[in-house]
Amino acid sequence: MLRKSLQRSGDRSSSARRNFRRAAIWVGGIVLLTFLAFSVLVFHRSEPPVIHLDPAAAARLNTRLTQAEETATATSPQVLRVEQNELNSLVASYVKTDPNGGAASSSPVRDLRLILSGDHIRMYLAYDFHGKEVTFELESKLHTSSGLLQFEPLSGKLGALPIPRSALQSSMRKMMDSPEARRAMRLPGNLSDLRVEEGKMVATFR
């Protein structure tokens, strides 16, 4: 009778081990599938927004910026309203890309495009991550407070993976707590205000 009791106990223990192994395999499989799905979404390259580039527009904007900065005073501010194609042409003159989409310099940035709509700005960024191209999109409101650029995130995507607005806002708050980030966000020179208004970038110099 003791032998039968021990046998039943052993059978139950063996069954429990089999069930545990089966559950562990299922969990491992689910984790692997989740990781693969996440990787596919993250490394899925979003199509870049269509923009128009004009090197002459970039040169004209550079001239206008220099003139506004040099002639502006506290009592006679200079306000520039910058069109989307002018802004992207200027950005492209700094972020140079080759015809195959690769960066022309050693910078990890492959592409950077800005879309202005109403009082929103949408950034499209493609960058190199250990040999893989990753795209990041962020739509936000842009304004200035106490001499610092302020972004109010509205939506974002990493590859094809949507990022919750709460996560974007939390990341932005943490970033702005950093002294380095605050220095980077401080407006240069006598540029006193930068915002998006009616689909244009509005810059005020004083």
Q: What is the pLDDT of residue 95?
A: 79
Q: What is the pLDDT of residue 156?
A: 86
Query: At what angle are helices 55-71 and 84-94 packed, to 10 degrees?
Result: 100
Using CA atoms, how far apart are residues 120 and 191, in angstroms rounded to an integer? 20
Domain ranges of the chain: 1-42, 55-205
What radius of gyration, in Å, describes the C-alpha atoms of the chain? 27
**Which residue ranges of the chain lie beneath pLDDT 50?**
2, 6, 19, 28-38, 40, 98-103
Using CA atoms, how far apart are residues 50 and 68, in angstroms rounded to an integer? 29
Nearest residue to 204 via CA among 187, 180, 186: 187
Nearest residue to 80 via CA among 93, 98, 66: 66
Q: What is the pLDDT of residue 119?
A: 94
Instruction: Fill in the amino acid letter for 19.
Output: N
The Cβ of residue 115 has, within 10 Å, a number of other Cβ atoms equal to: 18
Cα–Cα distance list, 183 to 58, 87, 195 (Å): 26, 23, 18
Q: What is the pLDDT of residue 1?
A: 55
Per DSSP, which regions of 56-131 are E strands? 78-82, 109-117, 120-129
Q: State whether residue 50 is helix, strand or coil.
A: coil
Instruction: Tell me the β-bridge partners of 187.
Output: none
Helix or strand run (H / E) with residue 59: helix 55-71
Q: CB-based contacts of 162: which residues, under 8 Å, 6+ apart?
A: 155, 156
Q: What is the pLDDT of residue 44?
A: 67
Question: Quick check: pTM over 0.85?
Answer: no
DSSP character at residue 44: S
